[in-house]
Structure 1
Amino acid sequence: MMRRQGVLTAVVGLGVSMLLNGCSDNSLEDTTVPAPTTETSVTSEPVATSEPPADEAETTTARPELSAEEQDQADIEETLLAFDEALVDALTGQESIEGIYPYSRDTARDQWVTQVMAYDAQGVTFSGVTDMEILEISIEGGTADVVGCRDVSALEAVNSDGESIITDVRLDQSVQDFLLERDASAELGWYVVSDVSRNEPCDG
């Protein structure tokens, strides 16, 4: 199943310079007649070079075509991961809550718009990230029931005084039930219409 991850790598390089100096001094007391010198000029013939032969044929591996059901599953997974990422961006103040609109509607959209507005009004701020793992997908016609595991262990929340509001009873990983509906107007062909936590640990 798909999982959202991020990696940041920084590479720093050092440059080194080198300076070399040389000097010599020769002198002769006796006067000598310089011997005649003969200059010889040698002209080298250009060496013919040839480009390495191009590969006669480049082999490419075509991506296997997905069945209709496999494509639906891939689109559903991508929709849920994009929805969860947009939700976290809204909670942490990086983006507007409208970022979830291309991936959600109805109850799933309304509940989070209301919740984020309430957090803002109360002065609650979030920082960090979440992780979503898709555990099970069941598709029937134009609807899909999905079970996921949402990991919020790296998400912090503080009140207007800067004090954490995370309690000891918070589940770091909890089971989520999602309902999606097929819709051609959706960004990826599906909308999340319901997002409900079971308040159960994922490994329970």
Structure 2
Amino acid sequence: MLTLFHAPQSRSSRLVTLIDEMALQDRVKIHTVTIPRMDGSGGPDAANPHPEAKVPALLHDGTLITETAAIILYLTTLFPEAGMAPRADDPRYGAYLTWLFWYGNVMEPVLILEAAGLGHPYLHATFRGHPEGVARLRAALERGPWLLGDSYSAADLLCHSPYAWFKEATPEDPLIRDWVARCQARPAAERTRASDAAALQQAA
């Protein structure tokens, strides 16, 4: 049995969208939990198996997987027929893995540091900066229209997501802005936003 532990309007929303895109609603149970939030609301939930009381967390027959990219890789490997990722023998598979791990290791840290107004030569040497990230996205999208070429994938779902949260961080680049808008306009993304909003309203 697969269970995703999800808090509405959080990083786990991306996994709810992925489950929808992969048509796994009858295979993955979504269990809503509370989490501590930046505004001081919420709090740890005893039902959440995540070791830091965060989301997402995926439980599969007693095996716990945390971290968004790891869960994306797990689900797209477990259900390759859903078509949200290249198979391991596909020449694009290496690029797919690169985008997943680049996101968590570089892109999100860079954007969070930038939003916090923090900078240091050590940080830039380690993570690079937002302009370098933008250049990397643009180079892929110029060959696009998606990060892996002609097909939308879980790499697009993950890598566009911070610009959906932090619209002010979105580069003034028509190519990137159009990509973000196309990702956000997908029916699965729209359904997740609607279900998250309804869940928060019900909890209020």
State the TM bucket, normalised to the shorter chain: under 0.3
Q: Hey, which of these two has a bigger chunk of strand by percent?
A: 1
